[in-house]
Amino acid sequence: PGSTSTKIAIFEDETEKFVKNIKHSAEEIAKFDSVASQFQFRKDIILSELKDAGFNINEINAIVGRGGLVKPIESGVYEVNEALINDLNNPPLGEHASNLGGLIANDIAKSLNNGTKAYIADPV
């Protein structure tokens, strides 16, 4: 997630199968008290868009969210774990919509109950 949009994509191996950039108006975002309170709104949009596009989320093997404002770490891909969830929920460097990426990825992965793992890429 970004400040005014939510970007989603589906890949099969290295082939892009679906991409969508969902814009959010200032009025839409203003309904929320904080970035954290946008969690369910953004998650629901992602799931709805994937369903509308005909994707079965139970077939997803990995979920990657945009990095967030976490403690300084090297650029790369990180599996979402409790320490990362704590940083995303209590951002040491400030609140940003990208903090929701790992949280949403983790929540969707856990809901699948099939061993799907959640990751973040290039934390800020």
* Residue 21 predicted with pLDDT over 90: yes
* Residue 67 predicted with pLDDT over 80: yes
d(CA 121, CA 111): 21
- How many domains are contained in the chain? 1
Determine the structural domain holding residue 90 and report its residue range: 5-121
d(CA 28, CA 49): 17
pLDDT, position 123: 83
| CATH number of the domain residue 110 falls in | 3.30.420.40
pLDDT, position 120: 96
Tokens of 108: 């969707």
Rounded percentage of the chain residues whose pLDDT exceeds 70: 100
pLDDT, position 69: 87
d(CA 1, CA 41): 11
Are the beta carbons of 8 and 22 closer than 8 angstroms? Answer: yes
Q: What is the pTM of this model?
A: 0.93
